[in-house]
Amino acid sequence: MMRPLPLASAALAALLCATAFAVTPPVVTGTSAEDAKKFTRQVNEDLKELWTRSSTAEWIKATYITDDSEKLAAWANEALMAYLTEAITASQKFKATKGMDADTQRFLYLLSIATTLPAPSDPKKREELAATAAKLEGIYGKGEYCSKGKDGKERCRDLLELSRVLAESRDYDELLDAWQGWHQIARPMRPLYERLVTLANEGAREIGYDNLGELWRNGYDMPPEEFEKETDRLWEQVKPLYRDLHCYVRAQLQKQYGKDKVPDGKPIPAHLLGNMWAQEWNNIWPLVEPYPGAASLDVTSEIKKQNWDYKKMVSTGENFFVSLGMPKLPKTFWERSMFVQPQDHEAVCHASAWDVTYSGDLRIKMCIQATEEDLVTIHHELGHIYYYINYYTKPVLYQSGANDGFHEAIGDALTLSITPAYLKQLGLLKELPKDQKGLINVQMKDALEKVAFLPFGKLIDQWRWDVFSGKIKPSEYNRAWWELRETYQGVSAPLPRSEKDFDPGAKYHIPANVPYARYFLARILQFQFHRALCRAAGFKGPLYECSIFGNKKAGAKLKAMLALGASKPWPEALYAISGERQMDATALLDYFQPLQAWLKEQNKGRQCGW
């Protein structure tokens, strides 16, 4: 009797059968407006089928990492890559077509930017690109640092364990060991990444772009060169606030580690900021708290004390959205999501939200810990889920944010309503900040996450745009990475680095080929969205005090924008929620105005900058 296949293996086998049948794009026999409409209808059906196959394979690969699941994802993605390359090429025949309706025009534009990893038409190169991409993400997901402990025994630690060291330890050498241990896992990625760039650039050229970076920047309803200028403009708006925060934090770190390790007028060593990539600094809160004891903000301790498990944490996030007039999550969400780290196999713990079938098959993937950080992340990921809920009945190319920054910004905007008052309602804070000292503490804690992230969010894709264009040569990958990190972040490598290293690969989004400008935009847009929703709720006080929890008017405004998906250019979606058509950082600056004034006072007489 044949032994039944394990669940994951059965799913792999089923998908393998499905992916054996390639889908061919419709043949363009005419170029009239009606021909274009017919073409887009068929492409919509085909893409939904192919994206469902790819997404299902990716889900299995992310939640059950094996060589076989990597192969399966590569095969599914190879079929998708082939289809997209052919469909985008075919769609270019309609460039001169007149009389097309707005939907058809919008669909063809979205199709032209539908892939972040375009494959060459050569089948062997396409197969190689899919396999390379899967291998890169697999190296990251299986990454471990093995070293001997004080007892002489070898111990292997994954990213979660090493990140815990960065977050909790205050021992300079222990932090350094964990930092360098994780970064060394990326070294084998370097030749693979170089090859991925070569192949993806070739694919981008075949569909009409100079390089992959130009394709990515074309996805914002404006010319690529204008989008780069737009990100520069937004960065200039927020840079003064970041530099004020950097100056204060460096001074506090000097008290902990000494000026010999954290000198005046120099970048901060990357391993001292509480995060593996120094992208957010909230884990060093105890070292930089402005007024110790002025406001009890230790939410994590209360979560642990009350024994919140993943169900309680996720249900709390769900209840937030339900309070705005959104529906409860379907039963399948609870059955199919990955909420905790598997004990019997490897999985990618990086939090993400999914609609696997583009038909309401909603899931999140997280290795949830009983921490405030993960409670906030759950609210964020459910922001994605409720975006899906509001648009999943639309054509598949409309099942996206108005631009990719919108999707991230919605989740982030809702987390701004996790105010001390909201946390008190949840029973996670005993009392609210009572005075200016308490306010500064709250704002500092927020800024360590949201303001500290801004330059990191900007530089990731700046590095890749320059790599894709050839401005940064393969022989300069690591040097250029650290030059950008010092320029934008004022953060330096804590150890000498060379071109044997591939430190960009130690950040998930590089080997996973996930564009990153969306996260930078999200940090700006979330405040713009928050301000708009607070206005809709009728809130009159300072922006930092507003929570829209329980407000159906704000919920209706939010749903009106979510329901658009990508069916309209992003300025129209922005107008639907805010009455504004330009991305603007003034809401962020308004939100943090009390903190910035305080920082300027504290930094008087200090040598700021780097």
Catalytic residues: 350-351, 380-381, 384, 408, 509, 519
CA distance 515 to 505: 14
Name residue 393's amino acid.
T
C-alpha 288: how far from its chain's center?
Answer: 26
Measure CA of the first residue to CA of the last residue in the chain; give whole Å: 70
- Helix residue ranges, H only, 472-585: 477-484, 517-536, 552-562, 570-578
- Strand, coil or helix: what is 146? strand
Tokens coding 347? 């999985």
3-state secondary structure 179-238: HHHHHHHHCCHHHHHHHHHHHHHHHHHHCCCCCHHHHHHHHHCCCHHHHHHHHHHHHHHH
- Token digits of residue 90: 């075919």
User: Length of the chain in residues, anyone?
Assistant: 610
Q: Which residues of 256-292 are buried (b: 16+ CB within 10 A; e: fewer)?
A: ebeeeebeeeebbbbbbbbbbbbbbbbbbbebbbbee
Q: What is the DSSP letter of 283?
A: G
Radius of gyration of the chain (CA): 24
SS3 assignment, position 364 = strand
Give the span between the Cα atoms of 196 and 201, in whole angstroms.
8
Q: Cβ–Cβ contacts within 10 Å for residue 93, how many? A: 15
d(CA 558, CA 226): 28
Cβ burial 360-396 (10 Å sphere, 16+ → b, else e): ebbbbbbbbbbbbebbbbbbbbbbbbbbbbbbbebbb
Distance between CA atoms of 284 and 278, rounded to whole angstroms? 11
SS3 content of the chain, % helix, strand, coil (to 5): 60, 5, 35
Q: Tell me how far the alpha carbon of residue 259 is from its chain's centroid.
A: 34
Q: Which helix (H) or strand (E) segment is 318 a member of?
A: helix 310-322
Give residue for tokens 């192949």.
199
Q: Are 297 and 441 in contact (CB under 8 A)?
A: yes
Q: What is the C-alpha separation between 340 and 383, in angstroms, rounded?
A: 20
Q: What is the number of other CB atoms lying within 10 angstroms of the CB of residue 443?
A: 22
Cβ–Cβ < 8 Å for 554, 529: no
Which residues are paired to 353 by β-bridges?
A: 364
Where b means 16+ CB within 10 Å and e means fewer, 412-424 reads bbbbbbbbbebbe
The dihedral of CA 545, 547, 552, 556: what is its sign? positive
Beta strand segments in 342-497, E: 352-355, 362-365, 491-492
| 168 dihedral zone (left: phi>0; alpha: psi -120 to 50; beta) | alpha
Smallest CA-to-CA distance from 90 within 139, 30, 8, 168 is with 30
